[in-house]
Amino acid sequence: MIKKLSLISLFTLLPASYYYAQTTVYAYVKGQDGKPVERAEVDLEQSVDDVTADKIGYFQFVDLKPGHYLITVTKPNFESKILEFDVTADEKRKDLGVIVLNNSLGTDAGVVVIDDSATDTEDGGSSMQPTVGLLSSGRDAFQNVSAFELGAYWFRPRGVDNRFEDVMFNGVSMSKNDDGRIDFNNWGGLNDVTRYPYENVDNITPSEYAFGNLGGVAYYNTRASSYRKQTSLAYSFTNRSYLHRAMATYSSGMSKSGWAFTFSGSRRWGDNAIIDGVYQDAYAYFASVEKKFSERHSINFTGFGSPTYRASNSPNTQEVYDIMGKDYNSYWGWQDGEKRNSRIRKVFEPMFMLTDYLKIGKNSNWINTVSYQIGSDARSRLDWFHAADPNPTYYRKLPSYGLLTADEFRAQSQIDWNYLYNTNRLNLTNMDGSVKGASYSLVEDVNKDKTFNWASHFDTRLKENWKLNINFNFQNLNSDNFRRVKDLLGANYANNLNPFNNDARYNIDDENYKVKEGDRTQYSYQLHKNHYTLNVSTEIDFNKFNIVASIFSSYSEAYRNGDYRSGIAEFANNSKGKSAIYDALDAGIKGKITYKINGKNFIVYNGAFFSLAPTFNEIYINPRVVDFVTPGVKNQIVNSNDLSYIMRGQVLKLRLSGYYTTISNSTEISRYYAASSSSTNSGAYNTLINEAMSGADKRYMGAELGFDVKITPTLNATGVASVGEYKFTNTPQVYSFDDQIGFRSYGKANIKDYKVAGTPQKAFSFGLKYNSPKYWWVGASANYLMDQYLDFSALNKTATLYTIPGTSDVLYDGVTPELIQQLTAQKKFDDQFMLNANAGKSFQFGKYRMGISVSVNNILNNRDYVTGGFEQGRLANFPQALEENNRGTPYFGPKLWYDRGRTFFTNVYLRF
């Protein structure tokens, strides 16, 4: 009987002992400053139930059985930390204490300063746009180094430019409809509130909030309560695109009454940092106000803007640089003892958002944002009517042309504002006494957008290891585009007539061709677009595998509405009024598979296949004049794959990736003045060419390596290698449009195997950083950049170059395959070495924290690195091209931008 009772007791107590043997493990995550780190991801190797730290940095795992465990704690802009621990059978609760995450390189280094003045050029070159990675570093060494070291030299990971990246504020895309690029000017100077994205995925990794593109997604959540409660004051001094920056930010945190406020403001100003005649005065403001109605519901208002006034710098030929030096800028001249720049960009496009946050049940969230953005982007330039080109670097003024010596060129190497005013004053009237229009004027190309967005995000956890996301976006755009007279420079009026086409009226319906300051001139039209996007993604987490899948579909309809009826008969019926609607349907799929070898080693595959509708800039070959659609324009098709091995050890963190991407059916538009010839007239003429290259295919392939090794507890070494090949893989069609003969087909461009320009195709970096326990740090990096290529003119790569006008196959005398190869070869720039350094220290005085940092790029003052450039397309026939090639100094050499040499950025802040 006693034995039976013992057996019954044993089997009765077994479940209880098994239950009580399970343990709750918990800890707090904090930063170096002792403040909680919220939303840190905590990955438990032995479980699929990963957790996220809450607002006070607390996390826990429940019901852990006895055994040995490993967790990895990660948070963007912090160094990840791996912790191992044991759970014994007698522990009900296990306290892991405080887990301290150290700031990663760059967190307190101030801000990456992007000099985007090169983006303001209208000379037909490639767009030198910064990338998303430049604005926010990620969690691995490759992303950090790409942003803070190589990114300063226009390095683009995987060759992907700004067109293929996404930045979102509360679900609203910040990409522009005209060219698909991101204009960082819209929130420039708001670094305190945009320093840390809520989500930051790189390359083709699927996002929870959008389908994404080739270059990743940076998602910013501007919810007032999400910002750390503090006041921050900062001042920066630099010699890059401005001299001074002052910034202040205040976050209240959530009050007991359910209100939270975050405000930020800044100013950036200064002139002649390095390049002559460049100055900037930019303000920025940000306000976020949240009202919390319950634990499940709150509404947030966000408003931000960055009114910016900035002068640009010119690209120049090598001849000009050799005479004037690398700091030369042809866009400015002296007026009344002050420097006046003709190329001023004035942009202010404020954004207003209302976001509703709703928690549904235990596992679901629904976030809706409506936004409205207005404002204008105006870019000035000199215009002239039956007068000489005022550009100091016009080719007839260069010493190589033979009219001026080098000393004479130097003496008149800047814009002569007095000459422009005097010319207008001497020509106020005609010989018969009638009033005469301006010979010179200053005009502005203006873009005024009104954009409405609705972004809806729904997520739910179907099971503990299964999550579903649904995103819907709608956008309505009304874009007003026109040129206006900014300054008559002493004249009575400007002529709204086309001097390049027998003074034809730009608007034949308006008999008054005399325009005053502030009036529209030359072109005026609107672009309208409705865009609908649906994206669904899901993530399933297993013990050894994590699987993410994402699909999307979108529909857009766009049209042009012209205000002017062209005075050129061929275009009169296609210039004014509403055009036909151009509609496009897109779709795509992405996938990510992660194999967890263990808690430290992973293999990750990403794949994507999707289409991209053309932008306005690609749809209309010359929207300023007509509504003609670019011949051959189609949706681009993107196919991309990458495979990575990732190690996240306590001593060594490493990622090794290989990638292969193809882009098909791309359309590229360039605009420049060219010397060309008519198919019906052998005589040459000068005209503004709108060049379209349609159906271009590209291939991007390569490998990436990034590592961070902890040599000692305070000394880290980081290394990055990016070896890529980005090239064209076919011979696309080339078309042009101008107001002399309209459309013209040039046949195929022989550009197969030409390299994609705009970035070094190979880059290497090695750096050391010392982190003192006393909160100071110092670091340095050596960077090597290779395989930078010149952007080419497609028209000059067609058979038009070497065949006689009016024929399709009759060659000019003297044409040989060797000469064609010599005239059309793509220029490759020399490899370059750059040395960077940075240092900083933080201080704690009770509740006050102060920090100072300084970074110096290009310490050796290397001025030979070409950051960008493009081939001039002015010569489109063999005799002139050969003559140009044989000159010791060409008239129309490539236009180049050089690195600015040694630059620095210092920052001091106070937080409390």
pLDDT in tens, 456-474: 999 999 998 999 999 999 9
Identify the DSSP state of 316. Answer: B
pLDDT top residue among 585 and 773: 585
Q: How far apart are CA 443 and CA 160, in angstroms?
A: 34
pLDDT of residue 56: 87
Q: Burial of 158 by CB count in 10 Å (0-12 exposed, 13-18 middle, 19+ buried)? A: buried
pLDDT top residue among 633 and 81: 633
Query: Distance of CA 603 to CAs 174, 547, 598, 828, Å?
Result: 32, 12, 10, 36
Provide mean pLDDT across the span 600-610.
96
Q: How far apart are CA 795 and CA 21, in angstroms?
A: 76
Could you tell me which of 65, 63, 74, 70 has the C-alpha nearest to residue 96?
A: 70
Q: What global pTM score does this model have?
A: 0.88
User: Does the structure show a pLDDT above 60 at 15?
Assistant: no
Q: How far apart are CA 192 and CA 727, in angstroms?
A: 38
Could you tell me which of 305, 245, 217, 213 has the C-alpha nearest to residue 114?
A: 245
Please report the DSSP string for 496-532 in residue order: -EETTTTTEES-TT-S--EE-TT-EEEEEEEEEEEEE
pLDDT of residue 104: 58
| pLDDT-derived band at 277, boundaries 50, 70, 90 | very high
Could you tell me which of 786, 759, 761 has the C-alpha nearest to residue 869?
A: 759
Which of 30-44, 308-322, 413-427, 589-603 is predicted least confidently?
30-44
Query: Distance of CA 206 to CAs 550, 589, 658, 845, Å?
Result: 7, 10, 17, 43
pLDDT top residue among 12 and 623: 623
Give the tens place of pLDDT for each residue, 670-682.
887 654 444 333 3
Which of 166-180, 349-363, 695-709 is predicted least confidently?
166-180
pLDDT of residue 684: 41
- Tokens representing 663 are 């882009």
What are the residues whose beta carbons fall under 8 Å from the beta carbon of 802, sequence distance 6 or more?
811, 812, 815, 820, 878
pLDDT of residue 86: 85
Q: How far apart are CA 399 and CA 486, in angstroms?
A: 33
pLDDT of residue 674: 58
Q: How far apart are CA 139 and CA 261, in angstroms?
A: 29
Give the tens place of pLDDT for each residue, 741-774.
788 898 999 999 999 999 999 999 999 999 988 8
User: Does the structure show a pLDDT above 80 at 690?
Assistant: yes
Cβ atoms of 693 and 617 within 8 Å: the answer is no
Q: Which helix or strand (DSSP H or E) is residue 886 part of?
A: helix 878-886
What are the residues whose beta carbons fall under 8 Å from the beta carbon of 511, sequence distance 6 or more?
none
Could you tell me which of 129, 78, 131, 135 has the C-alpha nearest to residue 103?
A: 78
Provide mean pLDDT across the span 184-206.
91
Q: How far apart are CA 763 and CA 151, in angstroms?
A: 10
Q: How far apart are CA 472 and CA 327, in angstroms?
A: 48
